[in-house]
């Protein structure tokens, strides 16, 4: 059992003068005549001290405490100023028997990110634990009660938090119950709340136009692949989209020749008539995502830059297909030199950004060409045995007789 001290040192006189007297007394205490007499005598002895600064605090030694019954105490302090004015205050004391139960304070951050889980800890009040007593800790998060453990710190996973009803923007109640292992039914309990925040939003304009775009047709800027890792389905809170466009040459001017034109903004989609863009000027289309408000507000942005032109370029990639491996179910690796064993398929794939730049309604034509004569050095040749009805197709299949000998 440790000695304790109570004081009135934070008391001040607005006039700036010192106090001329301080008197300590008992306002209330457990019904015990002997103890009341003993405590009254201690306070009277303190009050008899002539130097005021020496009686601004009151201490109880270990032997003093052992002589007092457990229970609630209220001490009264009356201060007298240099002008004879008085002020009164009280000190509330809850006195428990040594070793009855431990006490602890929850150690938590003010908020957490849902996907990180919740790391909880506790600081045990050292004066409440004596000798070799072992403390046990029981944590409860909302409706989830964790197993009893003999260490303070623990981690509540994101899955456990969600299972306990935690959502972005909600307050989670964290309750700690501590007890001695030897007397588990005698407990101390305290509760604290923590605010649940969401993960950073992920803004995306994947598949949207970029670079040089055709100044005819329609451009579709699509932010639908943007996500909230903490709320994938947006069922907890809706995802809000806002769109802007900024010109590189005149940031305050409209991106469109018609200043009143805004296109069609529908949530995650902004559809624009490409002919309305100022030709030859770089324009940055920005989508900004917003979720929550106040302390739980989250935002993120994504940008794509386009320049409208009458002569845009696009890219095409070619790839070979040499059949499937029936054992692995995967495409065979094509050899660096073709053989005459089986047909070879050549695919032409238009870059996805190219499709977006020309507009979804644009039709592409294909024209395949090849050298008049071939060798193994110049690669494959298309001849009358090529299995294709016309050259206007994204794939051509070359039969064995159409490959080099």
What dotted CATH number matches 104-197?
2.60.40.10
For residue 380, what pLDDT is reported? Answer: 45
CB neighbour burial string for 188-206, b if at least 16 within 10 angstroms, e if fewer: beeeeebebbbbebebbbe
In the CATH scheme, what is the homologous superfamily, with its name and number, of domain 211-309?
Immunoglobulins (2.60.40.10)
pLDDT at 389: 41
User: Whats the size of the chain, residue-wise?
Assistant: 405
Q: What is the pLDDT of residue 56?
A: 92
CATH number of 4-95: 2.60.40.10
In sequence order, the 6+-apart residues with CB closer than 8 A to the CB of 241 are 223, 226, 267, 268, 287, 288, 289, 290
Contacts of 23 (CB under 8 A, 6+ apart): 47, 77, 78, 80
- Residue 374: per-residue pLDDT: 47
Contact assessment for residue 208 and residue 187, using Cβ atoms and an 8 Å cutoff: no
- Whole-number pLDDT of residue 183: 86
Q: Say if residue 270 is exposed, middle or buried (CB neighbours under 10 Å; 0-12, 13-18, 19+).
A: buried
Which ranges in the chain are annotated with CATH 2.60.40.10?
4-95, 104-197, 211-309
Backbone angles phi, psi at 135, to 5 degrees: -100, 140
Q: What is the pLDDT of residue 361?
A: 61
| Rounded average pLDDT per 10-residue block, the chain, 405 residues | 79 86 93 91 92 90 81 91 90 74 91 94 86 88 92 93 92 94 90 94 93 87 95 90 95 93 95 93 96 92 92 76 76 66 72 63 70 44 47 68 49
What pLDDT score does 61 carry? Answer: 83
User: Is-contact 54 45, C-beta < 8 A?
Assistant: no
pLDDT score at 60: 86
Give the C-alpha distances (Å, rounded to integers) separating 100 from 129, 130, 194. 9, 10, 30
Helix (H, G, I), strand (E, B) or coil at 62: helix
Neighbours of 38 (CB within 10 A): 13
């Amino acid at each position: 059992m440790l000695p304790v001290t109570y004081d009135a040192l934070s008391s001040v006189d607005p006039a700036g003068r010192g106090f001329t007297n301080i008197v300590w007394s008992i306002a209330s205490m457990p019904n015990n005549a002997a103890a009341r007499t003993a405590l009254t005598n201690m306070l009277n002895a303190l009050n008899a001290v002539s130097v005021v600064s020496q009686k601004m605090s009151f201490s109880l030694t270990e032997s003093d405490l052992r002589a007092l019954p457990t229970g609630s105490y209220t001490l009264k302090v009356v201060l007298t100023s240099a002008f004879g004015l008085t002020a009164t205050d009280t000190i509330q004391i809850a006195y428990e028997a040594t070793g009855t139960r431990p006490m602890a304070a929850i150690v938590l951050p003010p908020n957490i990110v849902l996907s990180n889980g919740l790391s909880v800890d506790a600081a045990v009040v050292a004066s409440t634990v004596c000798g070799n007593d072992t403390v046990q800790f029981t944590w409860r998060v909302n409706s989830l009660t964790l197993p009893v453990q003999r260490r303070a710190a623990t981690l509540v996973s994101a899955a456990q938090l969600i299972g306990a009803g935690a959502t972005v923007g909600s307050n989670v109640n964290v309750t700690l119950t501590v007890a001695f292992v030897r007397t588990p039914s005698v407990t101390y309990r305290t509760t604290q709340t923590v605010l649940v925040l969401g993960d950073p939003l992920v803004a995306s304009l994947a598949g949207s136009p970029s670079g040089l775009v055709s100044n005819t047709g329609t451009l579709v800027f699509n932010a639908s692949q943007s996500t909230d890792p903490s709320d994938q389905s947006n069922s907890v809170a809706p995802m809000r989209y806002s769109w802007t466009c900024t010109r590189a040459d005149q940031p305050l001017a409209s991106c469109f020749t018609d200043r009143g034109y805004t296109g069609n903004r529908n949530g995650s989609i902004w559809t624009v008539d490409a002919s309305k863009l100022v030709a030859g000027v770089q324009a940055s289309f920005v989508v900004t995502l917003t979720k929550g408000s106040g302390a739980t507000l989250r935002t993120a942005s994504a940008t794509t830059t386009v320049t409208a032109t009458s002569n845009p370029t696009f890219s095409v990639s070619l790839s070979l297909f040499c059949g499937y491996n029936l054992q692995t179910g995967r495409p065979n690796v094509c050899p660096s030199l073709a053989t005459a064993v089986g047909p070879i398929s050549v695919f032409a794939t238009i870059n996805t950004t190219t499709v977006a730049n020309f507009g979804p309604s644009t039709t592409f034509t294909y024209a395949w060409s090849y050298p008049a004569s071939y060798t193994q050095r110049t690669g494959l040749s298309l001849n009358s045995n090529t299995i294709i009805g016309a050259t206007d197709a994204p794939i051509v299949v070359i039969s064995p007789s159409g490959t080099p000998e």
